[in-house]
Structure 1
Amino acid sequence: MSGISSPGVGSGLDIKSIVDALVKAEITPAKDRIDRREASLITELSAIGQVKSTLSKLQVSLIKLGDLKQFNLLKTSISDSNALQATTSSNAIDGHYDIEIIQLAAKQNLASSAFTNSSTPVGQGTLTIEFGTYSNDLSSFSVNSDKAPLVIDIGPGQNSLLAIRDAINNNDSGVQAAIVQDSQGSRLTLSSPATGKSFEMRITVNDSDGNNTNGSGLSTLAYDPTSAVNSMSQTAEAKDSQFKINGLLLTENSNRIENAISGVTLDLKKAQPGTLISLGVEANEAQTTSLIREFVKQFNDAMGTLNNLTSYDPATKKSGALQGDTGIRNLKFALSSMMSDVNQDISSPLKTLADMGIKTTKSGLLEINEDQLAKAVEINYDAIGAFFAKSAKASDSNVKINNIGADVKAGTYALTIDSFNPGVNLSGTIGGLIATSSNGVTLKGSGTLKNLSLDVTGGGVGARGSVTVTDGLAVKFNNLVDQFLNDKGTLVDRSSSLNQQIEKLTEDRERLDYRSQELGKRYLKQFTALDGLLSQMQSTSNFLSQQLANLPQLTLNKR
């Protein structure tokens, strides 16, 4: 104990040891109870952390499995990937296409006449580069209204070939300027900002020498075939890409084709006139199988963790950290029960997980029959997406689902069309909420249905049936897991409660320390008083002994 550092000066008692022993005897049981309780709470908190972690991983797999777009990401097969590449979006549909690449899109390139060197002054004034398309006979130029012209002021000290090159490149027009050295000197070259005929360049000047077309001064950079002002020459012509899809001739100003096939982006790599390239767009069975396998793995990991934490080993008589825990037992039951969920869509060939080769073992884990799963994916690909994900179906055959967000609740929503001029205007209500269209085809909901949109391809105004939104197994499963993991979920509350209890134990420990100090002070005071009393008694004893020792001497003296 602090403040006690020596034995009793009068009695010789080791007061420090006595006081420490008494305090320890009284405090230790309470301290041990706090230590044991704290260790138990920390173990339980760690176990809850493990549960949250494994459920979070399970939830990630459920979110992917519950997104119908994941099942609509079709794959492509191409007979010549050196000439053609393709990617798909969720809007792609199965199909086969024969593609012939006749011509690749190209940029226009221009070159100036030769200058002595790159520092040679060119001229002063204003240089304007417009973008557009020349007619086949070069008699006219149609300006590209989507591309603003590039205007550059060239003043004193900024009129060398180098300075003009840098002035062009420092703008964000996309025109690429360079200086090329050949046997005759330095030439300024220009490359159009993008491929295609609509990005051909017309260059006009406002020359400080007063003559804009004489081929001297700044006029040496003019280019306009429509007026025979061609101080610069064309070294490479702009070209549109030309290609055929199933025999239909198409042209684009780019080699990236985004709208020719719905949901498919084509990248043209090499022209091969007369050669057909086979493009297949088909179900991505490998991706779907991978999503299902990942879900099964994460479910088994979660159940394995729960089984371990709630286990009891009779041989070692050791229990898991959450053995007998009612909340965790309810969680296990809820997860297991979800695996026997039945698909309510009577038209679906898939009613339960067992229909695709996924069964529950005696230990509560999932087991995949790979042959059955492969067969189910091959034969019932679309049904698998609807089984797991959030999906929607319209009762009207002229209404297709364009998009459905994760926040759209399951249910049946009445559809009414108020106005419809295909491709011009479209409006109505979905589930009684206003629905509008920006293109006369896609009807977008509002409010709680803002992420539900429909494509109306025909029919008239008035009541148009209904749209039924269904939550698949993964969506319902994710909702269940979220009840435990969200900010107000039971596991979060549990962790918060445990942390509060641990904090309270810290306060209890502080109070126990204070009590220990006060107890030590009290015992020290008592034993110090005892030491003083013993010292007095020792002095009295010594005095009496001395007096008694003198008694015989007194008797002898009387004789």
Structure 2
Amino acid sequence: MAISSTGLGSGLDVESIVSGLMAVERKPAALLETAATTMKSQLSTYGQLQSYVSAFQDKARALNSTTLWAQTVAASSDATVASVTTGTNTAAGSYSLTVSELATSQTASTAVFPSKEHSLGQGQLTIDLGSWTGDPATFGLKAGSTSVTIDIGPGESSLAAVRDKINAAGAGVTATVIYDATGARLSIRSTETGVNNGFRISATETVPGDDGGLGLSALAYDPEGGASNMMLNQTAKNAKAKLNGLDIESASNTLADVADGLTIKLLKVSASPVDLTVTQDTESMKTKVTEFATAYNDLANFIATQTKYNADSKVAGKLQGDRTVIGLQSQMREILRGTSTATSAFGSLSQVGLEVQTNGTIKIETKKLDAALAKPAELRKLLASSDTTSDTSSGIVYRFNKLADQVLGAEGPLETRTAGIQSSITRNAKRVEAIDDRLAQTEKRLRAQYQALDTNMAKMSSLSSYMSQQLSLLSSSS
């Protein structure tokens, strides 16, 4: 194995000479690497900028949503009597409500048994859903319903087991074992309220219950057929109310879409009318306007920071002088200070409380915004009108949304600029690679040259020493 000892024979510092020369040769590559670091930083900053623009567009789209401006909220003058909610199509208005009867479900219970383990024997239960009318009562099957037969076999006859069998049958009723100081009773209740959700139960016994007492017939409830061993605790009824003087009847205590998407939940009977009011949801509108202003300021401040030069620290923003970003900033400010003819009520953002500041951000003047929200239809036009008949006929936020679409598009300026920076980084890396390849050859050549020089200088030094020695010998012998 050859051992390099360049410079040892001649005293020439070849390593330092080659290293110094290579450092000079590599300066172009070092400059390219510094430029690559700057470009990568710009690329990262562009990624952040895209995120800010995207977040801003989300808030602009929220203000351009027709759903926002159609939202309503409802209130009840007595929330213990009725609560009220609105849908997307609910119109503003007021209603008078009087509740005369709440919807109920039929409930019946057995006599008292010693415990939930008491056996009701074996056989079958048949459950029908329908309505009980008249006196004596007659039963009418509910339209579309069918009888449900439940088989009670060996090991299934306890009060608790029968409860579980009924609940698993999907018969439209729910069974519960209720305990008190006297023992256990089985309570059966219609799953749904309303007069058509009453029930009839017939029983067929094949094995009697404990102690020879009543078996499954203890669960029979059929007044019309004369077989009723259960006690009726509550009849099935419809809810009854008056809305704006009109009689309303419902199988449920929730009156869904009773008027233009209005849903009323009845909670108790009322002795006097309850006022229900529906108004436009200006609080949600105010929230969305505020969120828009915040997102705009976040974007504007980010651009300002990345494009400015700090004279004190002598540090420039990563995008200082970037024409794409400065162009975006200019377009944003132009739209912000623009006017709209979409409505005669308002012409600019400052008139509705979105005051433009000297640094290009927005400050919300709450009193002005609240006053503008008193005319939500006109405020919507100023912000979200999509009329593009003329340069000023569209809404101002609509223009911002359109600008964001253009900026974030596949061929928009941000994507184009990002692709350009990435391309420059790639080219830069290839140039550095080519320089490094060339420098490797240069270093190899320089080392060979200086190794040869070192060898020759070592030989000359040896010859010089020999000649000096011979001359010294000649001189001493004469």
1:144 to 1:337, Cα distance in 2 relative to 1, 3 A:
farther
1:9 to 1:196, Cα distance in 2 relative to 1, 3 A:
same
What is the SS of the residue equivalent to 1:302? helix
Matched-pair contact (CA < 8 Å) for 1:215–1:231:
no
Q: CA deviation at 1:37?
A: 0.9
Matched-pair contact (CA < 8 Å) for 2:6–2:451:
no
Matched-pair contact (CA < 8 Å) for 2:129–2:172:
no
For 1:489, which of 388, 412, 419 is the aligned residue?
412
1:6 to 1:162, Cα distance in 2 relative to 1, 3 A:
farther
Aligned ranges 1:298-377 → 2 under 5 Å? 298-313=295-310, 318-345=315-342, 348-377=344-373
- Distance in 1, matches of 2:200 and 2:264, equals 30
* Correspondence 1:218 to 2:213: no
Matched-pair contact (CA < 8 Å) for 2:340–2:394:
no
Deviates more, 1:58-67 or 1:294-303: 294-303
Q: CA deviation at 1:92?
A: 1.3
Q: CA deviation at 1:7?
A: 5.2
1:185 to 1:318, Cα distance in 2 relative to 1, 3 A:
closer
Matched-pair contact (CA < 8 Å) for 2:132–2:139:
yes
1:333 to 1:141, Cα distance in 2 relative to 1, 3 A:
farther
Corresponding residue of 2:381: 386
TM-score after normalising by structure 2:
0.86
Q: CA deviation at 1:481?
A: 0.7
Matched-pair contact (CA < 8 Å) for 2:342–2:381:
no
Q: CA deviation at 1:228?
A: 2.2
Corresponding residue of 1:458: none
What is the SS of the residue equivalent to 1:321? coil
What is the SS of the residue equivalent to 2:192? coil
Aligned ranges 1:391-540 → 2 under 5 Å? 472-540=395-463
Q: CA deviation at 1:225?
A: 2.6
- Distance in 2, matches of 1:208 and 1:489, equals 82
Corresponding residue of 2:16: 17
Q: CA deviation at 1:383?
A: 1.8
- Distance in 2, matches of 1:127 and 1:506, equals 84
1:390 to 1:26, Cα distance in 2 relative to 1, 3 A:
same
- Distance in 2, matches of 1:206 and 1:72, equals 59
**Which structure features the higher share of helix residues?**
2
Corresponding residue of 2:254: 256
1:518 to 1:112, Cα distance in 2 relative to 1, 3 A:
farther
Q: Which ranges of structure 1 fall in alignment gaps of 5 or more residues?
A: 393-409, 412-469
Corresponding residue of 2:87: 89
Corresponding residue of 1:439: none
* Correspondence 1:281 to 2:278: yes
Partner amino acid, structure 1, of 2:406: Q
- Distance in 2, matches of 1:198 and 1:504, equals 79
Matched-pair contact (CA < 8 Å) for 1:4–1:524:
no
1:136 to 1:513, Cα distance in 2 relative to 1, 3 A:
farther
Aligned ranges 1:117-156 → 2 under 5 Å? 117-137=115-135, 139-145=137-143, 150-156=148-154
Identity across matched positions, percent: 30
For 2:189, which of 181, 186, 191 is the aligned residue?
191
1:181 to 1:36, Cα distance in 2 relative to 1, 3 A:
same
What is the SS of the residue equivalent to 1:54? helix
Q: CA deviation at 1:344?
A: 4.9
Q: CA deviation at 1:66?
A: 0.5
Q: CA deviation at 1:215?
A: 8.8
Corresponding residue of 1:460: none
- Distance in 2, matches of 1:4 and 1:499, equals 45
Q: CA deviation at 1:47?
A: 2.8
Q: CA deviation at 1:269?
A: 2.1
Matched-pair contact (CA < 8 Å) for 1:309–1:322:
yes
* Correspondence 1:58 to 2:53: no
For 1:161, which of 159, 162, 168 is the aligned residue?
159
Corresponding residue of 1:71: 69
1:162 to 1:26, Cα distance in 2 relative to 1, 3 A:
same
- Distance in 1, matches of 2:256 and 2:3, equals 88
- Distance in 2, matches of 1:206 and 1:475, equals 72
- Distance in 1, matches of 2:408 and 2:169, equals 52
What is the SS of the residue equivalent to 1:278? strand
Partner amino acid, structure 1, of 2:458: S
1:533 to 1:391, Cα distance in 2 relative to 1, 3 A:
closer
What is the SS of the residue equivalent to 1:99? strand
Aligned length: 471
1:523 to 1:375, Cα distance in 2 relative to 1, 3 A:
same
Corresponding residue of 2:232: 234
Matched-pair contact (CA < 8 Å) for 2:29–2:436:
no
Matched-pair contact (CA < 8 Å) for 1:205–1:219:
yes
- Distance in 2, matches of 1:147 and 1:495, equals 66
Matched-pair contact (CA < 8 Å) for 2:386–2:398:
no
Matched-pair contact (CA < 8 Å) for 1:58–1:298:
yes
* Correspondence 1:246 to 2:169: no
What is the SS of the residue equivalent to 2:202? strand
Corresponding residue of 1:427: none
- Distance in 2, matches of 1:223 and 1:341, equals 76
- Distance in 1, matches of 2:213 and 2:264, equals 44
Q: Deviations over 1:1-55 (max 9, x none)?
A: xx9985534224444333322222211x123312321232133223323322222
Q: CA RMSD in A?
A: 3.2
Q: Deviations over 1:297-332 (max 9, x none)?
A: 322332232233333456665543223222222212
Q: CA deviation at 1:149?
A: 5.4
Matched-pair contact (CA < 8 Å) for 2:127–2:171:
no
Partner amino acid, structure 2, of 1:201: F
1:167 to 1:530, Cα distance in 2 relative to 1, 3 A:
farther
- Distance in 1, matches of 2:474 and 2:175, equals 132
- Distance in 2, matches of 1:389 and 1:288, equals 12
For 1:295, which of 292, 295, 300 is the aligned residue?
292
